[in-house]
Structure 1
Amino acid sequence: MLRQLLLCFLFFYAVGLNNSLLANGGTAQAADTRKYITVSLFASTPEAFLDCNNTSVMIRSYVRVNDMYTEEGITYEWRNTIKDFFKVISTEKDLVVTEPGRYTLSVRNTKDCSPLTDLSCSASSEFVVEGINFPN
């Protein structure tokens, strides 16, 4: 009886832990074959700051589907959300920026992913580039 209670407690603790990870933006691994996607952004320079010596920054994207890095079947949409949230400024994997801003990348897994059966087919991430606004 004690063993059954302990197993029951551990099961509900694990379920609660997975639910809290998902609620807090974490990624819980599923025991089934449903797909999920994550995206990470990194600057090509140690500091993402624009000035007279550093006039551009490349923001590199890394997309993982079920913890496996991939580029196959991924679509990309970059936006400068400070200037115009609705305007797509690039559909390339990486983005070179020459002005400060808040850049958002939205990615979508178009290969064998269904929003009805998989955990997630799209993800987004944000990257802030700071610096001096140069006059034209």
Structure 2
Amino acid sequence: MALNDLRIRTKDGEVLGTRDSLFEKSQVVQEAKKVSDQEGCISLNKITSNILRRIIIWAEKCEDASYDLDNNNMEAWKDQFLDVDNETLFQIISAADDLHQKELVNRAITKVARGISDKSAPEIAKYFNLRSKNVHL
């Protein structure tokens, strides 16, 4: 299969190429393929190129044994991969869910859960950048 047999146009108009096999379980991708444009691109209008690039890196690294990382190094890489600001983390969760990247979704949600464990309601509201007259920060 070709290295870039899937071309995806992102929310910000950038076209990224990747292997179709990485996202074959994604209903969003499969539906988008039915209405690809004249250039053979599918459109994922909810995902920015920055976030899609990150998810492609994740999917390729997790699928490709040629990276030759032992289990401990791979676990460290996966943890470090999610060392991002909260906004980026939430965008990764949403996009990874659409793209059927279950392990990435689970790890990111676990990171969020750890981030709010043992926090008060105002601290949780701050973590999620929520403003409410019912929650005093």
Q: What TM-score do you get using the length of structure 1 for normalisation?
A: 0.21
Q: Quick check: which one's helix share is greater?
A: 2
Higher RCO (CA-CA < 8 Å; seq separation 6+): 1
| Higher Rg | 1
Q: Quick check: which one's strand share is greater?
A: 1
